[in-house]
Structure 1
Amino acid sequence: MASITSAGLGSGLDVESIVTKLVSLEKQPITDLQARTDTIKTQISEYGKIKSAFSAMRDAAAKLANPTTWSALTATSSDTTMATVIAGAGSGAGSYALDVANLASAQSLSSKGFANNATVGSGSMTIELGQWSGTNNSTFTSKNGATPVSISIASTDTLANIRDKINASGAGVLASVVTDATGSRLVIRSRDTGEANGFRITTADDDGNGSDADGLSALAYDPTASISSMTQNTAARNANLTINGLAISSASNNIEGAVDGLTINLLKTGQSTVTVGQDKDSVKKAINDFVTSYNSLMTLMRNDTKYDDANKTAGALQGDSTAVGLQSQLRNITAAGSTLGGKFGRLSDLGLDIGADGTIKVNDTKLTSALGSMSDLKNLFMGVDTANPNNNGIATRWRAFADQVTGFDGSITTRTTGLQSRVTANNKRVDELNDRAAAYEKRVRAQYTALDTQMAKLNDMQSYVNKITSMLGSS
């Protein structure tokens, strides 16, 4: 609630206005100090942004100083519709000729057609994984480690019910129902490709005959017992191919281990050439990523330290010796180059040109050409000169410089700590000045209130004298 004062009522003096103006003058140093504190806080904020930008630049430089970046390999296929390939750990540069005779396949059987929602018959069916051989699958060899799975079929089970029971049994096969104009068929295929993942189906039909094509035996397939009620649409086969003339047989179309570190995914038969070489695209990306982070840092520092003559405005760190020094040091490292890079002595030799504003402009054509001399390029960025660290690879020096300035006792940390100390001191001084202004306000208010009281008394006396004088004059 606002206070009510009678000061000035007796004398006509505007005591409240006088006191307010005097106190405002007394508080002017506080306003000035708070403005300076706000400026310092802005500087602290900008140094926080610079530190983050340095960290981002450091991470990008570290990637260029990491041997893994330069040893990464990539694999390509001359016909990606026939085979795709991935180079992993342990792969080596080289060229490999693929000749795929056939793909790996899963065994697939289909039943005769049934009326929609018709039942088949009751009993049990047993599914066993293994490998077929001989003429017309005359021999079956059970898969090592696989156990035959028996499934009980009720007289009310439709093809859909049987499908669901097969899929829930874990027998190593997958069942589906295919319906067309001629009726519904049960289709069963191996879950996995490869000749060892074939299967046979035997039935114990409640109609007493497990070998005819009626009842549940209509879903049987065992050529070794001359039972082929279901039709084989696809045989279980291994993929057969040659790699540089060496014959390879694989249960899967995903070939691993045939060539160290390479994963080859077969898509169709035919011939293709797989080439494994240095991953130039990933190196190029690492260089471009660094340029992006470096330019962001340089742009930030340039804007913070510049003075705009046209608008008469200064950046938050204009004239700040630490910021200007960081900018200069970073430019010097970037411009210095290294003698370790062979044919590349400076960044400009590979299409990275430093502009007048300190940022790097990329000549993509020149950079792409430089990627053809990967060893020299690698040494320019991450080479180590034990006799002269100032001649180390540029990325190595970028990373070291960023670690230094952002470290616990680095120049950014030191400068930020100093600025924060000034904020603390200013805040303390503001508190002191506020206390002094409050005491001053109390003092001058008392003085002007007393003056107002005295002037009121004098005014009363003047009025009395005037009244007496008037009376004497009229007598």
Structure 2
Amino acid sequence: MISGMNAAQFAQQLIGADRAGKDTLYKGKLTASKTQLDAYTLLENNMKKMATKLSEIGGDAAKGKIATVTGENATATVKSDAPKGNYDLSVHKLAQAHQLTKTYTSENELLPASGVISIQVGSDPTKRMEIDLATVNGGAPISVSQLRDVINKQVGNPGVQASLVRTGNQIEFMLSSKESGVANQVKVEFNGADWGMTERRAAQDAELTLNGIDITSSSNYLENVVDGVSLELVKVHAAGESSMIKVTDDFEANKKAVKDFVDSFNSIMTQINQLTRSMGVKTSDSSSSDKDKEDKTTAVSEAQIGVLKGDTSIRLLQSKLRDSVFVTAANGMRLSDIGIEIGRDGKLKIDDAKLTDSFKSDPEKVQAMFTGPDSYVKSIENTLKPFTQFNGYIDQKQEAINKQIKSVNDSMARHDYQMNQKYQIYLTQFTAMEATINQFSAASGLFS
């Protein structure tokens, strides 16, 4: 037709020229809106992350305890409500599970074809099982190894474990109580009489003294033996020896809680700087860039830098957050008193030695700075709440942007429809023109 193009190609080229301007306009609006939406979502995620860190520092994380035990006779675990103090521990006996054995020539040796083996654990009548040798294997005799399997797989097993010990020239059929302590002693009878098993290890309770108090336990794990303190007994003390258990504040856990607070504060201040700064303006955010790269939920992309620069509410939030760390806590202390200062870059910095000394000298007073109705934690939570709460500022901005995106998509759909209609008109016109030209060409050939 023209320049070797057919009607469809020519119509498509004209439509491409007609729609290029609006296509670029709509694409730009859509990209800008989605970038803004992603930026608000990013900011919301970081605010919620900071709120989580705040709740941790106001909870058990800032009230941790640690227990140290001298020697290797026991270990201790503590909860945050454990009272601080020293405890003298002496382990006299460890708890033992009852263990019995019976000797056989091999694991394939057959047991009597009839008779009832009964196994009782302790004095509880419900902790009893019976094995009728005449019926357990459909009337056929069972071997020692089969007896082991029958006991271990029995639904009503009262709490025993059967196993085989191979000594080289014979087999020891072993029964062990699954629980330690005198109350879990195992009794085995055959047709109502003792089965003749050998006691390899007696059932035994743990015996210990704690600050001179005698304690017995069926287990070597004594949970909550002192409020919030649990012990795991490992071995018996030699005569006259003991271990010292010391329960103190967990300075490292306390310091970590405070450092997490500082990190989350610095992270959100950096993010607001990046999202609201003018393009081309350099910032001093490089110190947290590696951290942002590690956490995709808080990292600001190049496309998002400055995308919220017109949002004065976000700038106001940043100002309020900065002001909140300058105020004096309800107990009269300031962050600077425990080694936390704000630098020229607007970020909090920690003097680790001063922070450690503060927790050692008066941990309760330091914790009070971050807990209670007038604490730093509560102040920052109140500042964040209007932004992070349901139907708060961030939700409203996201809703407004989603409406903009829907409007642009609707406009793009209408534009596509109009351009398609216009394409059909062009196609019809150029197809008719192409047919006319072909007719003239054919007619002219008659005169050549």
TM band (smaller chain): 0.7 to 0.9
Q: CA deviation at 1:35?
A: 2.2
Aligned length: 395
SS at match of 1:340: coil
Would the aligned equivalents of 1:176 and 1:188 in 2 still touch at CA under 8 Å? yes
Query: Would the alpha carbon gap of residues 382 and 196 (structure 1) be closer, same or farther in structure 2, given more than 3 Å must change?
Result: closer
Cα distance in 2 for residues equivalent to 1:378 and 1:111: 61
TM-score normalised by length of structure 2: 0.73
Tell me, yes or no, if structure 1 residue 4 matches structure 2 residue 4.
no
1:369 counterpart letter in structure 2 = D
Give the match for residue 118 of structure 2.
Answer: 126
State which of 328, 347, 351 in structure 2 corresponds to 1:359: 347
Task: Tell me which amino acid in the other structure corresponds to 1:357.
Answer: D
Letter in 1 for 2:366: L
Unaligned runs of 5+ in 2: 135-139, 284-301, 428-432, 434-448
- Whether contact under 8 Å (1:113, 1:182) holds in the other structure is no
Structure 1 match to 2:307: 316
Residues 97-176 of structure 1: pairs in structure 2 closer than 5 A? 97-122=88-113, 123-130=115-122, 143-145=123-125, 149-153=129-133, 156-167=141-152, 168=154, 170-176=157-163
Given that 1:106 and 1:193 are in contact with CA atoms closer than 8 Å, whether structure 2 keeps it comes out as yes
Once the two structures are TM-superposed, the CA of residue 428 in structure 1 deviates from its matched residue by 6.7
Q: Structure 1 vs Structure 2: percent identity of aligned residues?
A: 26
> What RMSD in Å do the two structures reach over aligned CA positions?
4.1
Q: Specify the SS of the correspondent of 1:97.
A: strand
| Aligned position for 2:377 | 395
Of stretches 158-167 and 428-437 in structure 1, the one that deviates more from structure 2 is 428-437
Is the aligned partner of 1:54 residue 2:67? no
- Contact 1:241/1:247 (CA < 8 Å) preserved in 2? yes
**What is aligned with 1:369?**
357
Aligned to 2:226: 259
Q: For residues 124 and 279 of structure 1, what CA distance do their matches in structure 2 show?
A: 58
Q: CA deviation at 1:83?
A: 1.6
Given that residues 237 and 251 in structure 1 are in contact (C-alpha distance below 8 angstroms), is that contact kept between their aligned partners in structure 2?
Answer: yes
User: Within 2, Cα distance between the matches of 1:113 and 1:20?
Assistant: 96
Question: Unaligned regions of 5+ residues in structure 1, if any?
Answer: 8-14, 131-142, 211-216, 222-229, 385-391, 446-451, 453-475
- 2:273 is equivalent to residue 295 of structure 1: no
Q: Which deviations, in whole Å up to 9, do the C-alpha atoms of 1:424-471 show, x marking residues without a partner?
A: 6666777888899999999999xxxxxx9xxxxxxxxxxxxxxxxxxx
Q: What is aligned with 1:198? A: 185
Compare 237-246 and 256-265 and name the one that shifted more: 256-265
Q: 1:90 to 1:78 in 2, by over 3 A?
A: same
Relative to structure 1, is the Cα distance of residues 186 and 30 closer, same or farther in structure 2, using a 3 angstrom cutoff? closer
* Structure-1 separation of matches of 2:380 and 2:92: 53
Query: What SS class does the counterpart of residue 371 from structure 1 fall into?
Result: helix
Larger radius of gyration: 1
Matching residue of 1:86:
77
Q: For the residues of structure 2 that align with 1:435 and 1:234, how far apart are their CA atoms?
A: 89
Query: Are residue 242 (structure 1) and residue 209 (structure 2) matched?
Result: yes
Q: Tell me if 1:382 matches 2:385.
A: no
DSSP 3-state at the match of 1:233? strand
Cα deviation per residue 1:337-371 (whole Å; 9 max; x = unaligned)?
324344x412x432333343333333433332222
1:156-235 matches, cutoff 5 A? 156-167=141-152, 168=154, 170-204=157-191, 220-221=195-196, 230-235=197-202
1:399 CA drift (Å): 0.9
The one-letter code sitting in structure 2 at the alignment partner of 1:278 is D
- Which residue does the alignment assign to 1:134? none
Counterparts of 1:266-305 in structure 2, within 5 Å, are 266-270=233-237, 271-305=242-276
Distance 1:438 1:150, change over 3 A: closer
Determine the C-alpha separation between the residues in 2 that align with 1:434 and 1:156. Answer: 86
Whether the 8 Å contact between 1:381 and 1:394 is mirrored in structure 2 is yes
Alpha-carbon distance change, 363 to 302 in structure 1, aligned in 2, over 3 angstroms: same
Are 2:89 and 2:210, in contact at CA under 8 Å, matched by a contact in 1? Answer: yes
